[in-house]
Amino acid sequence: MTDIDAKGYYDDFSGWYERKRHHGYHAMLDELELGIVRGFAGGKEVLEVGCGTGLIMRGLDGRAKRLVGVDISPGMLAEARRRGFDVLEGRAEKLPFSDESFDLAYSFKVLAHVPDIELALREMARVLRPGGHLVAEFYNALSLRHLAKRLAKPGKISDGRTEAEMFTRWDTPRQIQGYLPPGLVFEGWRGVRVLTPAAFVHNVPLVGGLVARAEHAAMRSPLARFGGFLVAVCRKA
């Protein structure tokens, strides 16, 4: 998929992106992901790669010293700007920032759709200052989510498009660590959606709350490496 195709895909997606994100399963994902980066962001200069409409940025607003987002989609960026965020158009593989500009660079639900993943990670590391943290989320091949996706039909992202149109990678923990560029020190995994068999369980009374609590407990446990969304936490030496 070319940059123009990807822009069109995400511009279409921007109209639907937040339709189900404020409750249940998707709200839990955002809460868990925000919990991973919140502790690194206090008083720091922070970059989100693939910021979308600014949902995660909203949770860091007022906590970070400086908060910047970059995304390939003008449609997504328009919504982030409406929220008042400092965002600009750009690609993960060619970030429009100088070397050592940020203390924290993070990305959720984006890197799994970047074909040249090693270049994207090198770019994220490049814009980090020494001692800064890189938080990178991947789609985990060793997860219940991967199994569920293989059994289900591609989800719709707009009236005329499905997830099948977008390049998507599924990586193992070992593969992910192999992508990390020199100069990054791997500090550990965080697992998002470790135990959820299917998204709809979070809409079931009582059951949804129990599963959500279990997910919070599992995120930093030894089970984290089986998260459907597998997050590598690294530090720049």
SS (H, E, C) 72-89: CCHHHHHHHHHCCCEEEE
Q: How far is CA 6 from CA 81, 96, 167, in A?
A: 20, 18, 9
For the chain, give the mean pLDDT.
Answer: 92
- 42 three-state secondary structure: coil
Find the distance separating the first CA and the last CA of the chain, reported in whole Å. 34
Per-residue pLDDT 10s for the chain (237 aa) are 555 466 666 666 666 677 767 788 999 999 999 999 999 999 999 999 999 999 999 999 999 999 999 999 999 999 999 999 999 999 999 999 999 999 999 999 999 999 999 999 999 999 999 999 999 999 999 999 999 988 887 887 777 777 788 889 999 999 999 999 999 999 999 999 999 998 999 999 899 999 999 999 999 999 999 999 999 999 999
Show the 3-state SS of 142-177. CCHHHHHHHHCCCCECCCCCEHHHCCCCCECHHHHH
Q: Which domains does the chain have, with CATH numbers?
A: 3-236 (3.40.50.150)
What's the number of CA atoms in the CB half-sphere (13 Å) around residue 82?
A: 9
Q: What is the pLDDT of residue 105?
A: 98
- Say whether pTM exceeds 0.85: yes
Instruction: Identify the pLDDT of residue 15.
Output: 65
Which among 105, 174, 112 has a CA at the least distance from the CA of 137? 112
